[in-house]
Homo-oligomer: A and B are copies of this chain.
Amino acid sequence: MGRRNLDPEDIVRYEEGGPAVVLLDQRRLPDEEVELECRSVAEVVDAIRDLAIRGAPAIGLAAAYALALAAELGADLEEAAAQLAASRPTAVNLAWALEQMRDEPTPAHARALHEDEVERCRAMAGHAAELFHDGTRALTHCNAGGLATGGYGSAVGAFRTAWERGLLERVWVDETRPLLQGSRLTAWELENAGIPHAVIADSAAASLMAAGEVDCVVTGADRIAANGDTANKIGTYSLAVLAAHHDIPFYIVAPTSTVDLATASGSGIPIEERSAAEITTRFAARNPSFDVTPAELIGAIVTEHGVHRAPYAQSLSALV
């Protein structure tokens, strides 16, 4: 590829000829831009589980295309949907996308969902940018970028729009251990977009806050419970506590497809425990992949419909 800005279909798309679901292998970024062709539902499930594609909205889109592939191959759609839904437990968008596809499992329908998702990102970004002021220095965690959403991005989308409006001075990018989605993916997207940024060790965020170098924290979400409790990449909760301690606003930017009104609070969100081998050590390790930020630490949740504030039980239920 080698162009500076990805098109949505570079991230994940359906190839009629194959047929196949083709996706950019995010495990190999930023060193290589390599596509992965999945010719069966099982191959898409593996790609999602092994993080070739990740980010709640993006894996929802991959699952949508995979269901269209299952239909074209004459596979059992119930079984395909069950395998895809089980590929990763925390993000709710997987289930959401599969539900959307149920009545019309076609490539055209998956593409329409994809276009909608990118539109939602642009709308979210417009709303989120209103939380920025002249010279804002934002801090983010993991990758809530175009790669995570099928294009443009949620938190990174907010940075793109704020940058265009002249409101953003720079972005601090948590490297995001253990898999470094920040230093590999978010930094790559920001460099491609020409937005000033610097990668930091995750544990350096607190001292930057104490030094007055952070004006807001902005992340995406994997699942938002009905009361506003939000599951996201491990370390997000830590940032929310640190931001509250330093009187810095903490914002979530995520599409309504991430809101799960059927889950009352964060305690009902399953937290994926991934392989200890992802932690770089030859000794014993624990590797929870997500954490839950309680609603009271969240200054605003931004969706494509606007900027929502506490009490979230009301502002979120009005949305869906």
Contact = CB atoms under 8 A, between A and B. Distances in A.
Interface of A: 30-31, 141, 172-178, 180, 183-184, 187-188, 190-191, 196-208, 210, 234-235, 237-238, 241-242, 244-245, 279-288, 291-292
Contacts of A203: 141, 174, 176-177, 202-203, 234-235, 238
Given A183-B279, A279-B175, A280-B180, A288 B245 contact: no
Contacts of A201: 177-178, 202, 234-235, 279, 287
Contacts of A287: 200-201, 204
Dominant SS among interface residues on chain A: mixed
Contacts of A281: 175, 180, 183-184, 187, 199
A245 B241 contact: yes
A223 B70 CA distance: 62
Contacts of A200: 279, 285-287
Contacts of A30: 282-283
A98 to B, nearest CB: 28
A242 B180 CA distance: 22
Contacts of A286: 172, 198-200, 204, 208
Nearest to A179: B201
Nearest to A180: B280
Contacts of A234: 201, 203-204, 207
A282 to B, nearest CB: 6
B241 A183 contact: no
A133 to B, nearest CB: 23
Contacts of A172: 286
Contacts of A237: 206-207, 210
In this complex, the member of A202, A280, A281 whose beta carbon has the largest number of chain B beta carbons within 10 angstroms is: A281
**How many copies altogether?**
2
A200 B177 CA distance: 10
Given A141-B203, A183-B279, 9 more contacts: A183-B281, A201-B202, A201-B234, A201-B279, A202-B202, A203-B235, A207-B288, A241-B242, A241-B245
Contacts of A183: 279-281, 283, 285
Contacts of A210: 237, 291-292
In this complex, the member of A175, A188, A244 whose beta carbon has the largest number of chain B beta carbons within 10 angstroms is: A175
Nearest to A282: B30
A15 B233 CA distance: 50
A131 to B, nearest CB: 23
B177 A202 contact: yes
Contact of A198 (B196, B208, B284, B292): B284
Nearest to A233: B203
B199 A279 contact: yes
Contact of A207 (B177, B207, B242, B291): B291
A245 B296 CA distance: 13
30 contacts: A30-B283, A31-B282, A172-B286, A174-B203, A175-B178, A175-B280, A175-B281, A176-B203, A177-B177, A180-B280, A190-B283, A191-B283, A196-B284, A197-B283, A198-B284, A199-B279, A199-B281, A200-B279, A200-B285, A200-B287, A202-B203, A203-B238, A204-B234, A204-B235, A204-B287, A204-B288, A204-B291, A207-B234, A207-B288, A241-B241
